Amino acid sequence: MTNQKLNILVTGSRGQLGSEIEGLSSSYPYRFFFTDRETLDITCPAAIEAFVESKSINAIINCAAYTAVDKAESEPEKAENINHRAVKNLARIAKEKKISLVHISTDYVFDGRHYKPYTETDETSAQGVYGRTKREGEKALQQINPNHSIIIRTSWVYSSFGANFVKTMLRLGKEKESLGVIFDQIGTPTYARDLAKTILDIVPRLQNDTVEIYNYSNEGVLSWYDFAKEIMRMAKLECAINPIETHQYPTPAKRPHYSLLNKTKIKSTFNLEIPYWKDSLDACLIQLGERN
């Protein structure tokens, strides 16, 4: 792929990751085609095929996903369509047209009962509809097995775009004197811009014959409580953050209590340096105009 001009289809371009890829796109010598559900229906194989052929697409970055974790419990068919069936469509066309496919997955494929950072080969056991449908999408891609294609599992994604934990904390931190935030769920945030840059850097270097899975998040270990405390500190907000347990904040979908991802494989394969979570949070807050 290194000697080939890349024409990249980015699905889900209005989401956090897709928006960050678009923000970085002018720095890369690729030709990008950014699509969302209005401009390309990835649940329709004929629509994908026509788009790929008309634009001479030779790489796909699939950022499209049904990510409403709690809503997925009552809308399993919608989650299945986007997180599984659409991935199968993309994989089949990638295989047929010899197109590389980068598919984004999630830490929710794990049940969170581990005691050490999850590796790519650890057994999956999703607890809810969202995680289960994302795992089915992974399996479909692995079974179809287009060349030069990978799955990237990530966690706790945030960005200056879209709705996310960081922006919610900033809003509530300005409105309230105190907040209760869960302290017994452990993982690492991922600044979508860091992940976007990594994807764009490695796309032309994909040479694998079988679909590989890679983990990616920022470096470090923390709880949502720690994350919220640091957001308030950096943004100089007076809102007090109080630790609460998961059972005190019931949700329709279960979250993994522990979803730390081991990133050794992606770092060694592509010689990556991954930013520390506090440095990335700082960069995002600067982007949002929340740092003085």
CA dihedral 156→277→9→160, nearest 10 degrees, is 80
DSSP letter for each residue of 105-124: EEGGGS-S--SSPBPTTSPP
Active site (catalytic) residues: 130
The pLDDT of residue 3: 47
Q: Which residues constitute the domain of residue 155?
A: 7-163+190-218+260-275
The pLDDT of residue 287: 96
Q: In the predicted model, what is the mean pLDDT of the chain?
A: 96
Residue 111 forms part of a structural domain: yes
- Cα–Cα–Cα angle for 209, 105, 50, rounded to 5 degrees: 65
Residue 286 forms part of a structural domain: no
Query: Is 60 exceeded by the pLDDT of residue 1?
Result: no
Q: What is the number of structural domains in the chain?
A: 1
Average pLDDT over residues 101-110: 98
Name the token pair of 18: 């897709």
Q: What is the CATH number of the domain that holds 132?
A: 3.40.50.720
The pLDDT of residue 101: 98
Per-residue model confidence as pLDDT tens digits over 34-81? 999 999 999 999 999 999 999 999 999 999 999 999 999 999 999 999
pTM of the full structure? 0.96
Per-residue model confidence as pLDDT tens digits over 209-249? 999 999 999 999 999 999 999 999 999 999 999 999 999 99
